[in-house]
Chain A
Amino acid sequence: MEAVEFTTPKTIDEAVQAMASKGDRARALAGGTDLLVQLRGGRRSADLVVDLKDVPELNEISYNASSGLTIGAATPCYRLYADANVAANYPGLVDSASLIGSIQIQGRASLGGNLCNSAPSADAIPPMIALGSVANVVGPNGSRQIPVEDFCTGPGRNVLEPGEILVSINVPAPPANSGASYLRFIPRNEMDIAVAGVGSAVVLDGSGQNFVSARISLASVAPTPVFCKAAGDSLAGKAVSDEAIEEAARLAMEDAKPITDMRGTIRQRIHLVGVLTRRTLNIAIQRARGEE
């Protein structure tokens, strides 16, 4: 790894100043599980590494029954599944946080870093999209809120401008009778990159027999995570049935635009989107009914 300078700002203002001082030659550091590998391998370069973990807003999880969950961008995965509020209210996020990398990686890697790294295969992004999450960004020109489905613009690329940092992710409070799930396919049991992944979130009516709304998102089947608006919307107002779920899965498969590479073929990945959409919808429905 080439020589870099290192700074540990203590406030958002100091962090933004540090990032802005070097423009695109500054890199934000959270858990480092992507950044340090990229810097060492020469896939990214930087003059300044800005460690954001000492900024309180980036390193805290807070939950409020009306405003929902705020996840500091540098908060490591293990703190999500160790948090009672997250475990009780956001099982779809726990699905992702507990399958990213190894236990060692989960001790460092953050959902915010997963979002900013903007890999098409990022496991944390589909459930965040499915749950209607919003990214809180601060930069030299002030703050802005970006729906997570609009954050990534290409492999490793996103809407952040030089000097901007992701401060936190807000996940809305779960509505009554709602549930979410994330599943990915990998050819091993652990420690792999998704061949395809699907995150689903549903809201049911009081009877638990009808969809009020649903959101579905895909990983590893396009240059960015995919928000399948049509697939989710197709469920709204319908009775919960295999036919309705099948139709949503069909629409999700239409939104998948994968490539063939060493992990899988176009045909396999589109097939997997169908399978995983059905499975995640069924798990989300069970969770919404309190059956799991």
Chain B
Amino acid sequence: MPGLVHVSTTINGNPTDFLCEPRQSLLEVLRDVLGMTGTKEGCNDGNCGACTVMFDGRIVTSCLVLGVEAQGKEITTIEGVASPEGLHPVQQAFLENAALQCGICTPGFIVATKALLDREPDADEGRIRHWLAGNLCRCTGYDKIVRAVLDAEEKMKA
């Protein structure tokens, strides 16, 4: 039985140490070890994008990363998106455009959307739909989400 591994990483700007088993995914570590339940588990096999986090500057599905792979990395989760002053423009736009119903997919969509708009502030609808193809939503039918992302673009430029 392999023992617990000590991992030192940075989550939302905070140096973070944790112990995990090598078999545990980063998603399990975030939720079950660190109590950061903002990141959601959907399919647990990389298809749905609910568990999307930033991992060294790229979006990844945290169910397909091992917790031990976080050693020395920089991770941003949904908990790191809002500021103490208020919601991030992407979050605000999702609220105002009713781009969520049950909400399970929402943290993943917001992390993925922020990653896109930080990189490509002028992404058009086609690019937005392509970028978000790895995030599944069974409630909204996607149109409201795409409208929210376009709205967030405007808000972030203002």
What B residues does A107 contact at CB under 8 A? 55, 58-60
What A residues does B66 contact at CB under 8 A? 6, 29, 32, 36, 49, 51
Let me know if B44 and A108 touch, CB within 8 A. no
Among B19-27, B77-85, B90-98, the one that faces the other chain is B19-27
Query: B106 an interface residue at 8 Å Cβ cutoff?
Result: no
Q: Mark A1-20, 1 if CB is under 8 A from B, else 0.
A: 11111101000000000000
Pick the contact of A78 from B2, B21, B22, B58 — CB < 8 Å?
Answer: B58
**Which among A29, A40, A78 has the greatest number of chain B C-beta atoms within 10 A?**
A40
Let me know if A36 and B22 touch, CB within 8 A. no
Let me know if B61 and A104 touch, CB within 8 A. yes
Report if A49-B22 is in contact (Cβ < 8 Å); known contacts: A37-B45, A102-B134, A104-B134: yes
Q: Mark A181-194, 1 if CB is under 8 A from B, else 0.
A: 00000000111000
In the assembled complex, how far is the CB of residue B106 from the closest CB belonging to chain A, in whole angstroms? 16
In the complex the two chains form, what is the Cα distance from A5 to B5 in whole Å?
10
Q: Is the interface of B mostly helix, strand, loop or mixed?
A: mixed
Query: A105 an interface residue at 8 Å Cβ cutoff?
Result: yes
In the complex the two chains form, what is the Cα distance from A3 to B20 in whole Å?
11
Let me know if B45 and A41 touch, CB within 8 A. yes
* Inter-chain residue pair count (beta carbon < 8 A): 84
Let me know if A102 and B5 touch, CB within 8 A. no
Pick the contact of B23 from A2, A103, A105, A189 — CB < 8 Å?
Answer: A2
In the assembled complex, how far is the CB of residue A40 from the closest CB belonging to chain B, in whole angstroms? 7
What B residues does A190 contact at CB under 8 A? 130, 133-134
What A residues does B112 contact at CB under 8 A? 103-104
Let me know if B22 and A4 touch, CB within 8 A. yes
Let me know if B46 and A104 touch, CB within 8 A. yes
What B residues does A286 contact at CB under 8 A? none
Report if A6-B45 is in contact (Cβ < 8 Å); known contacts: A49-B22, A104-B61, A107-B58: no
What A residues does B46 contact at CB under 8 A? 33, 37, 101, 104-105
What B residues does A32 contact at CB under 8 A? 64-66, 69
In the complex the two chains form, what is the Cα distance from A190 to B68 in whole Å?
30
In the assembled complex, how far is the CB of residue A66 from the closest CB belonging to chain B, in whole angstroms? 32
Indicate the size class of the contact surface on chain B: 20 to 34
Let me know if A104 and B23 touch, CB within 8 A. no
In the assembled complex, how far is the CB of residue B4 from the closest CB belonging to chain A, in whole angstroms? 11
Let me know if B2 and A108 touch, CB within 8 A. no
Let me know if B2 and A105 touch, CB within 8 A. no
Query: B49 an interface residue at 8 Å Cβ cutoff?
Result: yes
Query: B52 an interface residue at 8 Å Cβ cutoff?
Result: yes
What A residues does B5 contact at CB under 8 A? 6
In the complex the two chains form, what is the Cα distance from A36 to B25 in whole Å?
9
Let me know if B134 and A3 touch, CB within 8 A. no
What A residues does B52 contact at CB under 8 A? 104
In the complex the two chains form, what is the Cα distance from A103 to B1 in whole Å?
35
In the assembled complex, how far is the CB of residue A274 from the closest CB belonging to chain B, in whole angstroms? 28
What A residues does B60 contact at CB under 8 A? 104, 107-108
In the complex the two chains form, what is the Cα distance from A2 to B1 in whole Å?
10
What B residues does A189 contact at CB under 8 A? 133
Find the B residue at minimum CB distance from A5: B2
Query: B16 an interface residue at 8 Å Cβ cutoff?
Result: no
Contact residues, B5-25 vs A (CB, 8 A)? 5, 21-23, 25
In the complex the two chains form, what is the Cα distance from A78 to B58 in whole Å?
9
Query: B140 an interface residue at 8 Å Cβ cutoff?
Result: no
Contact residues, B122-156 vs A (CB, 8 A)? 130-131, 133-135
Q: Mark A49-89, 1 if CB is under 8 A from B, else 0.
A: 10101000000000000000000000010100000000000
In the assembled complex, how far is the CB of residue B149 from the closest CB belonging to chain A, in whole angstroms? 14
In the assembled complex, how far is the CB of residue B64 from the closest CB belonging to chain A, in whole angstroms? 5
Query: B47 an interface residue at 8 Å Cβ cutoff?
Result: yes
Residues of B within 8 A of A (CB): 1-2, 5, 21-23, 25, 44-47, 49, 52, 55, 58-61, 63-66, 68-69, 71, 112, 130-131, 133-135
8 contacts between A and B (CB under 8 A): A3-B2, A32-B65, A33-B46, A36-B64, A49-B22, A49-B66, A102-B135, A107-B58
